[in-house]
């Protein structure tokens, strides 16, 4: 029972913008529980604030669906235009919405979810023109996460772990009472991560790591706040095993990956940014920390699969957050 609940909760995708970082386009899919499929519809919502873009006129809002996620395979299931407030493009599907040229436009599609065991990608596509009459469009895609015979899931690693945990839960009634809510909370956290802004690791010891997708000049205070808003904290690497995992994941995302370790307050005494606990010295590689360069030297830390290296806090790169799930 808990496996079904967790997997269905994983399917409720709410890919929202991080706090303090609003985006003009939002897409959300609410899935009914399996036992309620015959009574309640699946709902796909899309909202668009054209006031936050260079688009002056919205011509259409469309929700599309694809089984494969390939560009050519997306099929429109609902669309609205300034002259039409509703248009469901499939049988047993209803659509409604509105276009507000000066504010927020929205479209919602509701239909009975196909009970075929497959997962779908959903896309919201906005098309219009700017003040110069040039064509502009914005889109956002999210992937449905669900159980499927073909294992078409973006989070197979988490699903496998949920399977293993659930087997243990079902063998112990008391354990299911204690651990069940934690699994649901973990599913909510994983589903809420903004995959447009971050690359997301596989699950490691009840947590995931997320790396920003854009290189920028590092600001440890701003990065710390962003990690908290994302549901975690600037990564705190506690042992060699975790350092190798984070380093290997970071290598896929970029060359310079900042962690939360630093000796900003006391030169030579490296601590974690969030907890202020000392960083284990065994994590360095080579002759680091070297503190080379001009004043104030190298007070921040980047991670590699072979170890940690101290660098200037003003360097350019990406940073990694640690997100506890369970």
How many distinct structural domains can be found in the chain?
2
Pair (238, 127) in one structural domain: no
Last residue of a domain, one of 108, 128, 143: 143
Distance CA 2, CA 38 (A): 21
Structural contact between residues 143 and 177, judged by C-beta atoms closer than 8 angstroms: no
> Is pLDDT of 264 > 70?
yes
Picking from 120, 143, 166, the residue at the C-terminal end of a domain is 143
Mean pLDDT is lowest, of 22-36, 167-181, 241-255, for 167-181
Whole-number pLDDT of residue 20: 41
Q: Are residues 16 and 135 in the same domain?
A: yes
0.75 surpassed by pTM: no
Domain range spanning residue 220? 198-324
- What CATH number does the domain containing 295 carry? 3.10.100.10
* Mean pLDDT score, 128-137: 88
Angle at 127 between CA 152 and CA 65, to 5 degrees: 20
Q: Verify that 228 and 132 share a domain, yes or no.
A: no
Q: Yes or no: say if 302 and 251 are a contact pair by the CB < 8 Å rule.
A: no
Residue 319 pLDDT exceeds 90: yes
* CA-closest candidate to residue 224, choices 253, 200, 257, 259: 259
Same-domain check for residues 202 and 138: no
Instruction: Say if residues 65 and 77 touch (Cβ distance below 8 Å).
Output: yes
Q: With contact defined as beta carbons under 8 Å apart, do 198 and 319 qualify? A: no
* Token output for 93: 């599907």
**pLDDT for 21:** 46
What's the pLDDT tens digit per position in 163-183? Answer: 565 555 555 545 445 556 677
Please report the pLDDT score of residue 303 as a whole number.
Answer: 95
């Amino acid at each position: 029972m808990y496996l079904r609940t967790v997997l269905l909760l994983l399917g409720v995708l709410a890919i929202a913008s991080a706090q303090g970082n609003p985006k003009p386009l939002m897409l959300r899919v609410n899935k009914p529980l399996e036992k309620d499929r015959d009574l309640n519809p699946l709902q796909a919502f899309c909202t668009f604030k054209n006031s936050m873009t260079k688009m002056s006129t919205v011509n259409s809002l469309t929700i599309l669906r694809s089984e494969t996620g390939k560009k050519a395979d997306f099929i429109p299931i609902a669309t609205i235009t300034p002259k039409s407030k509703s248009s469901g493009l499939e049988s047993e599907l209803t659509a409604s919405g509105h276009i507000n040229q000066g504010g927020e436009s929205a479209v919602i599609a509701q239909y009975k979810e196909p009970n075929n065991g497959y997962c779908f990608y959903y896309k919201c596509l906005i098309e219009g023109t700017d003040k110069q009459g040039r064509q502009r469009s914005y889109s956002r895609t999210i992937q449905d996460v669900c159980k499927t015979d073909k294992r078409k899931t973006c989070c197979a690693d988490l699903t496998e772990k949920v399977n293993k945990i659930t087997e243990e839960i079902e063998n112990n009634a008391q354990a299911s009472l204690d651990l069940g809510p934690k699994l649901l909370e973990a599913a909510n956290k994983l589903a809420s991560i903004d995959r447009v802004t971050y690359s997301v690791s596989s699950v490691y010891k009840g947590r995931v790591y997320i790396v920003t997708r854009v290189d920028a000049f590092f600001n440890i205070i701003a990065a710390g706040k962003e990690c908290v808003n994302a549901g975690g904290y600037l990564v705190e690497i506690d042992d060699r095993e975790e350092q190798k995992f984070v380093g290997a994941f970071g290598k896929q995302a970029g060359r310079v990956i900042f962690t939360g370790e630093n000796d900003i307050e006391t030169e030579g005494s490296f601590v974690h940014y969030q907890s202020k606990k000392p960083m284990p010295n065994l994590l360095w590689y080579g002759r680091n920390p070297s503190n080379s360069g001009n004043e104030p030297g190298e007070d921040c830390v980047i991670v590699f699969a072979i170890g940690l290296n101290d660098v200037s806090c003003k360097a350019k790169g990406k940073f990694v957050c640690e997100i506890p799930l369970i």
